[in-house]
A and B are shown apart, each in its own frame.
Chain A
Amino acid sequence: MKQSITLGKVTKFMGLGFLSTFKDLFTGKLGKEDYISFLRKVFVPLASILLFIGLWHMGAKSLYNTEAEFKIEKALTDQGPEAAEALRACIASGESSCQPNTLPSPAQVWGSYKSLLRDHNIISADKAAFAEKTAALNEKRIAAGKEAITYTGRPSFVDQIFRSLKTVFAGFLLALLIAVPLGIFIGLSPTLKSAFNWFIQIFKPVSPVVWYLLVFMIVKTLLIDSNEDSSFTISFISVGLCSMWATLVNTAMGVSSVDKDYINVAKVLKLGPFQKIFKVVLPSSLPLIFTGLKITLSVAWMVLIAIELLAQSPGLGLFVWEEFQNGANDSNAKIIVAMFVIGIIGFLLDRLMLTIQNAVSFDKTDAI
């Protein structure tokens, strides 16, 4: 009995149900109610996006003017009217050296986005050329037992994204491996629960920054003999420790609140502890565990930026921080680009988790 898989089913399964509305639009299968639903699902979000960009544009313009007036005023009082006039002309001409430094407009952000992509293309071309040049040499070096020469140039924006994703997934995996087993034990045993409760309550609200410092203290000493860069290790461990709490609490709750009927069935059938956990307790708490994992992944992605920035570990967080320190004319715009990229990736990660949750869990109703 094979079920046909349609676009509508797939998109709904992934929590992207609004996409199927487009299909209906093109296949012309729309009734009156569908039109209303189409307007609501597609037109309203589009309109609100346009409204958002419009407000942003106007806000940025007004901030720009305030900043410009202030600069000119300052030049007038400090250096006299001629300097002020020169500055006014300079600002009006669009010369980059004298532009007011404030919230960038949507157009500037779009420009920065394109320039970041260009930059990425240049760097990857550079990398490819480097690899080609060193290919023959590297072969010889490896044959001679030496290490290959690697590209040590500046990472592009896209490279930073992938490094961040790597850190987040490493941290998420760590959180999963700690929180799920621990949560199961805590949920099953009231003794362990009272042993761990204070620990969870106290450490749950600790800020990512403090977690980073704690991990730094420990890892620094542990890796004292190693010459390797520990920033990646420190940052992924900190991300994992910051984000694991939601999974820990949810798993413990899910495991301890398994339907009493199921537990009674397990008792009557005299299932052993192993079978009871894997056949009854875990499947029944999967929806809650996944809710926890979803929160964990989004928290991991959220704290990543702060932690990368502190750990000086390459990635989007470091990118944002370096751009802020850099203070170049387009730095602010690049920061906003990074902000949108972070937001969109966060959204996609959430959908990814939802898709996995729908695939493995029996309860399809409570997925949000």
Chain B
Amino acid sequence: MSTIIKDTPSFTNTSTFPSKEVMLDLKKLKKVYPTPKGDYVVLEDLNLQIRKEEFVTIIGHSGCGKTTMLSMIAGLNEISGGSISVLGKNIKGPGPDRGVIFQAPSLMPWMTALQNVLLGVNQVFPHATKGQRNDIAKYYLQKVGLEDAFHKRASELSQGMQQRVGIARAFAIKPKVLLLDEPFGMLDSLTRGELQDILIEIWNKEKITAVMITHDVDEAIFLADRVVMMTSGPKAKIGDILDIDFKRPRTRKSVLEHDDYYTYRKHLIDFLEH
């Protein structure tokens, strides 16, 4: 499986949206890791605009820099060049306007499910009363189906349940952008399906602009409005963007039965295999 980046027509994807519609704007983004043998360029000249209330999935080969890009958007990784802006304002470090659902659930194991969600809620709604904050946290835990596990310690929950808490925690702080770094990568396929349904159900209600990394082509199509394909690194950039025109709310069944599904799927797999 050889990757022939040089010969593929370079998709610079300069198609820009009206600035009113844009939530997240990456311009000429660059990431360089200095190594003893000279600089290693992970990302170069990466341009991507994501509109408000859009769900974008990102696929690409392992090590191509997807996670690097996402953690730069989250503010957890320094930007070497170019800019990232949310609603026109350049980001400075991490902040609760960009919620993150990590690959590992990353819950504090010594806290209960409720306390984990409250950790963020308390931070974002400091002026709300204790009761109101509790209600917010409980509402989102109910949404992810954990109404019986409010007071269970995170260390007592299964991996899938922990990731549900992770989802609740991210939505509960009402971020402008939701960043998901392969959140279901560590789960078995049954649990993964369940969590995709839960995620999309909450998302349909909240419509928070979402950027999600995934390795799973079906997941990418099922969840997204657009699938962004990244070229392999080094010097990774946006290779291609695929618009998914399924109506929302979607069900797994309707998506699988749709005539375009296999066209989309073939497009993505063709990209990944060349």
A residues apposed to B, CB below 8 Å = 259, 261-262, 264-265, 267-271, 275, 279-280, 283-284, 286, 361-363
Indicate if B106 sits at the interface (CB-CB under 8 A): yes
Indicate if B185 sits at the interface (CB-CB under 8 A): no
Q: Which of B92-137 contact A (CB under 8 A)?
A: 93-96, 98-100, 102, 104, 106, 108-111, 119-120, 123-124
CB distance from B70 to the nearest CB of A (A): 12
Q: Is the CB of A270 within 8 A of B123?
A: yes
Known interface pairs A268-B99, A268-B100. Does A284 touch B74 (Cβ–Cβ under 8 Å)?
Answer: no
Q: Which of B150-207 contact A (CB under 8 A)?
A: 153, 155, 173
The 8 Å CB contact of A271, one of B109, B111, B123, is B123
Q: Can you list 17 pairs linking A and B with CB atoms under 8 Å apart?
A: A261-B102, A261-B106, A262-B108, A265-B106, A267-B94, A268-B74, A268-B95, A268-B98, A269-B124, A271-B119, A279-B108, A283-B108, A284-B108, A286-B110, A362-B109, A362-B110, A363-B155
The 8 Å CB contact of A362, one of B102, B104, B153, is B153
The 8 Å CB contact of A268, one of B94, B104, B111, B155, is B94
Known interface pairs A269-B173, A271-B123. Does A264 touch B106 (Cβ–Cβ under 8 Å)?
Answer: yes
13 new A-B contacts at CB < 8 Å, known A262-B106, A271-B119, A286-B110: A264-B100, A264-B106, A265-B119, A268-B75, A268-B76, A269-B119, A270-B123, A279-B108, A279-B119, A283-B108, A284-B108, A362-B109, A363-B109
The 8 Å CB contact of A264, one of B102, B155, B173, is B102
Distance between Cα atoms of A264 and B75 in the complex (Å): 10
Contacting residues, chain A, for B94 (C-beta < 8 A)? 264, 267-268, 270
Number of interchain pairs (Cβ within 8 Å): 58
B side interface size, CB within 8 A: 24
Q: Is the CB of A264 within 8 A of B76?
A: yes
Contacting residues, chain B, for A279 (C-beta < 8 A)? 108, 119
Q: Is the CB of B123 within 8 A of A280?
A: no
The 8 Å CB contact of A270, one of B95, B100, B110, B111, is B95
Contacting residues, chain A, for B124 (C-beta < 8 A)? 269
Q: Is the CB of B96 within 8 A of A268?
A: yes
Q: Is the CB of B110 within 8 A of A269?
A: no
Contacting residues, chain B, for A280 (C-beta < 8 A)? 108
CB distance from A214 to the nearest CB of B (A): 39
Contacting residues, chain A, for B119 (C-beta < 8 A)? 265, 269, 271, 279
Q: Is the CB of B108 within 8 A of A270?
A: no
Distance between Cα atoms of A271 and B94 in the complex (Å): 11
CB distance from B17 to the nearest CB of A (A): 27
Distance between Cα atoms of A363 and B109 in the complex (Å): 8
Which of B96, B110, B173 counts the most chain A CB atoms within 10 A? B110
Considering only CB atoms, which chain B residue lies closest to A361 in the complex? B110
Distance between Cα atoms of A335 and B173 in the complex (Å): 66
Distance between Cα atoms of A311 and B74 in the complex (Å): 59
Distance between Cα atoms of A264 and B93 in the complex (Å): 11
The 9 closest A-B pairs by CB, nearest first: A362-B110, A261-B106, A267-B94, A283-B110, A269-B120, A268-B94, A269-B123, A268-B100, A362-B109
